[in-house]
């Protein structure tokens, strides 16, 4: 009888130890920041002075006021998806993120318009970024840098026929929809509502008021996850 009791106690202790270890591992796997990986739209290009980055009035800056995790602005003007991929370890993973927002592809898109290259190259770069970031517990937000109306207007203003622009839009739509099927990835489809043609510093970039609206649009898409994780201010 004593041996049976002792055996039961040992099993309970081992089970409790396993559960505590699992809980601790889960806590340790939670990241400590939100990292915004992107190009000029993340760096705050034109926010206060046309042609100049101003991270103090960028969308990550405005997002910071809504969340209780530090927000890291990893935006570099002019970056393509290849540049973003090259920076993942240094500029993203080194900050121990729990949430990663990826806003890349605009420079790839305009390069595709002017000097056609396979869209699959951009897709592979973004997929590799997602794979590097995705440890199973991080939440990833993949942001479309365009709406069809915005892309068509930009193409038209640069003398590019609408049918060529529309064909590229279709390819990019298919790319983003495919990437959004990856685990822990949420696609944010419209960051231009109320901004484009209204709160702009040039044809492509918002001003400070525009970046604040952009932050609100991104926040709205993230809010359910932020709320469930206790990341809201």
Q: Strands, E, within the chain: which ranges? A: 33-38, 71-75, 97-103, 139-143, 185-188
- In DSSP terms, 38 is beta-bridged to 75, 103
Which residues are within 8 A (CB) of 21 and not within 5 positions of it... i.e. 6 or more apart? none
Top-tier CATH class for 31-229? alpha beta
**pLDDT greater than 90 at residue 103:** yes
- For residue 209, the SS3 value is helix
β-strands 33-38, 185-188 pairing = unpaired
pLDDT tens profile 142-192: 999 999 999 998 888 778 899 989 999 999 999 999 999 999 999 999 999
Q: Report pLDDT for 25.
A: 45
Which of 91, 82, 110 has its CA nearest to residue 37?
Answer: 91
pLDDT tens digits for range 19-64: 444 444 444 478 999 999 999 999 999 999 999 999 999 999 999 9
Partners of 187 in beta bridges:
142
86: its two tokens: 């090259």
Answer yes or no: is pLDDT of 70 > 50. Answer: yes
Whether residue 226 is predicted with pLDDT greater than 70 in this model: the reply is yes
Better-scored residue on pLDDT, 105 or 26 = 105
């Amino acid at each position: 009888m004593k041996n049976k009791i002792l055996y039961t106690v040992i099993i309970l202790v081992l089970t409790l130890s396993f559960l505590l270890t699992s809980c601790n591992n889960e806590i340790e796997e939670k990241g400590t920041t939100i990292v915004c990986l992107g190009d000029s739209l993340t760096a705050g290009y034109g926010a206060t002075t046309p042609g100049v980055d101003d991270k103090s009035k960028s969308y990550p800056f405005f997002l910071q006021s809504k969340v209780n995790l530090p927000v890291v602005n990893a935006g570099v003007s002019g970056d393509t998806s290849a540049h973003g991929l090259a920076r993942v370890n240094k500029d993203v993973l080194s900050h121990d993120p729990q949430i990663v927002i990826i806003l890349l592809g605009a420079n790839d898109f305009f390069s595709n318009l002017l000097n056609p290259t396979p869209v699959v190259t951009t897709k592979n770069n973004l997929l590799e970024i997602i794979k590097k970031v995705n440890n199973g517990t991080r939440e990833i937000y993949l942001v479309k840098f365009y709406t069809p109306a915005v892309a068509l207007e930009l193409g038209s203003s640069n003398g590019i026929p609408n049918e060529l622009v529309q064909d590229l839009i279709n390819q990019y739509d298919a790319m983003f929809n495919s990437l959004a099927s990856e685990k822990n990835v949420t696609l944010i489809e419209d960051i231009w509502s109320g901004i484009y043609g209204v709160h702009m510093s040039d044809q492509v970039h918002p001003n400070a008021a525009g970046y604040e609206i952009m932050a609100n649009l991104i926040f709205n898409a993230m809010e359910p996850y932020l709320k469930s994780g206790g990341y809201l201010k």
